[in-house]
Amino acid sequence: MKALDIRGPIGRARSSLVALLLAPVLGLWPGAASADNGWSEVLRGSGLVFGRAKLIFEDQFSTARALNGPILWAKQHADVGLEKFDPPGGAAYASNGGILTLRAYQSSDGIHSGTVQSTNANQAYQGAQIVPGTNGFTCVGCYFEVRARFPNARGTWASFWLLTPDDPRQRGHLEVDAIEYFGAGDKRGHHHSIHRWGPQEPDGHIKRSDYTGMDAIADFGWHIYGVDLRGIATLDGKPALVVYMDRKEVARIAADADYFTRPFYVNMTLSINPQDSVRTLPQSVSFDDLRVYK
C-alpha cells in the first residue's frame, strides 16, 4: 500500500508502484507467492508477549472528528487504487459510536474512498516537526495494533500499515504492511510485507512479503491486527518484525536494523483493487481501538 502526492524521487517511486500493482509478482492477490522469508509454521499461533511494554497511545474513536489533525488526518497521500480519496469531511469518512468507518462508493466522477494517517503531508514528506501525541503521532521500536472489520465484498483493498516520515536528505522511507486484505475474492488471505523506498534502491524499491491463508480471517468479523517493531524477535539469527492477528503470531520477517530504530506513523486505508474485475459498491471497513505500545 503506497503512493505519494509529490514528484522527484518520491514521485518516481509512486510511478514504479503503479506499474508493480499491475504485476502478479507483487503478491497482492490470491495465488501470489507465499512466505519468502524462512518463517516456520512452528511459530504460528505464538502469543504476543508485552513484557515491559506500556500503552503510550490509544484512540477509541469515541467522538466525531474532522480528520484534519492534530493527530489524525484524511487524504495526505495520493490515490493508489481505482478510487479517489475524499478530503476531510468527505462522504468516505464517519466517526461515531466508537467506530471509524471508511466507505468506498460510486459517484458521478468515479469511485471514492478514504484513507487516514497519523501525520500530515508536511510532517510525512517534508520533514516538518512531529510531537507525538500532540501534533501527529510516530513511534520508534513499538508494537502497533488496531481492531478492524473488513467487508464481505469484492474489489476490496483494505489495509493497516506504517510508514516512516521521509528523510529530506535521502528522500527514502520504510513501509510495513501489517495487513492488506482483499475481501471476498481472497477471504482467507492475510497479506503482509515490508518495503524500502528510495533512489538508492534498484528501481526505487525493494520488498519482502508473506501470504498466510487462514480460516479465522474469513468470517469478516472483528479482529485485532498488529505488528511488533520492538526488534526482540529473531529469524535465522536476524532481528525480525512479527505480524499478529488477535495477538497470535501469523508471520515474522527479518528486517534491517533501521526498521526498529526509525519512527513510524499509522495509516488506515480502504482502496479499490485494480486487479479485481468484480467490485461491490458501496462497501466499508471499520476500525476501532488503535493502540501503540512501547
Measured distance CA(134)–CA(68) in Å, rounded: 13
Domain that holds residue 270: 8-293
**Cα(207)–Cα(20) distance, integer angstroms:** 11
Question: What distance, in Å, lies between the first and last C-alpha atoms of the chain?
Answer: 25
- The ranges of the chain with pLDDT < 70 are 1-41, 168
Cβ pair 44, 249 in contact under 8 A = yes
Angle at the Cα of 121 (from 116 to 127), degrees rounded to 5?
A: 130
pTM (two decimals): 0.88
Report the C-alpha gap between 230 and 140 in whole angstroms: 8
Q: Does residue 1 form part of some domain? A: no
* CATH number of domain containing 245: 2.60.120.200
In a domain, 38, yes or no: yes
CB atoms within 10 A of CB 186: 24
pLDDT at 198: 86
pLDDT of residue 18: 33
- DSSP element (H, E) containing 18: helix 8-21
The identity of residue 41, as a single letter, is E
In this predicted structure, what is the pLDDT of residue 65?
87
Report DSSP state, residue 50: -
- d(C-alpha 93, C-alpha 270), whole Å: 11
3-class secondary-structure state, position 19? helix
Asked if residue 2 is part of any domain, the answer here is no
Summarised one tens digit per residue, pLDDT across range 87-96 is: 999 999 999 8
Give tens-digit pLDDT for 123-158: 999 989 999 999 999 999 999 999 999 999 999 999
Total number of domains constituting the chain: 1
